[in-house]
Amino acid sequence: MPILPGQIAFYYLAAASVASAILAVTRRNPVHSMLWVLALFLHVAGIFLLASAEFLAAVQVIVYAGAILVFYLFFLMLLDLPTEAAGRRFSAHWPLCAAAGVAFAALAWYAQVPGLVPPPAVPPTTAGPSSGSLSAVGEALFTQFALPFEIASLILLAAIVGAVVVARRRTES
């Protein structure tokens, strides 16, 4: 069976995403980690484009690669970078975190077993808008996913408050 160009692009984007995520976590310099996170966000946007979800790809680039990454950059500017880079990169709990990551990957692999997930009760309609269109995303966001959307906004608010607390604690010391 011949390999299609779309498959080659997907495998490249998936491998580059995983590699970027690993490099973002393992770099000693936080600024280098941020650059690898940017590469990760851009590769994920490419995967969205391959899935014909142009709106999600644009949101990925604008919101994550733009706004969230700038937020992280401001947070990094509040840190003492030489002290952070000289310190230990991982705590003593890294084996537990690695085991949790492997367990998550095993669960994701196990979820691919046919028949494990029951089929949807209502078959999807083909007359509605495509799944990546603006109207479909807006309808799903404000009906089915309203609660997770609000939880995500609260998590971002907690991150902002945490950044202010960390910056305040550093300046008072």
CATH architecture of 1-88: Up-down Bundle (1.20)
CA dihedral 133, 136, 141, 145 (to 10 degrees): -120
| Distance in angstroms (rounded) separating the CA atoms of residues 7 and 82 | 43
Q: Read off the pLDDT band of 172 (50, 70, 90).
A: low
| Distance in angstroms (rounded) separating the CA atoms of residues 41 and 66 | 10
Least confident of 67-76, 126-135, 147-156: 126-135
Q: What is the pLDDT of residues 127-136, one digit of tens each?
A: 565 666 777 7
| Distance in angstroms (rounded) separating the CA atoms of residues 126 and 173 | 61
Residue 90 has a pLDDT of 67
Q: Read off the pLDDT band of 45 (50, 70, 90).
A: very high
* Contact yes or no for 55/132 (Cβ under 8 A): yes
Q: What percent of the chain has pLDDT over 90?
A: 16
Residue corresponding to tokens 């950059």: 73
Token readout for 122 is 């209502």
Residue 65 has a pLDDT of 80
The whole model's pTM is what?
0.57
Q: Read off the pLDDT band of 71 (50, 70, 90).
A: confident
* Mean predicted lDDT score pLDDT of the chain: 80
Q: Give ∠ CA 128-132-135 in degrees, rounded to 5.
A: 55
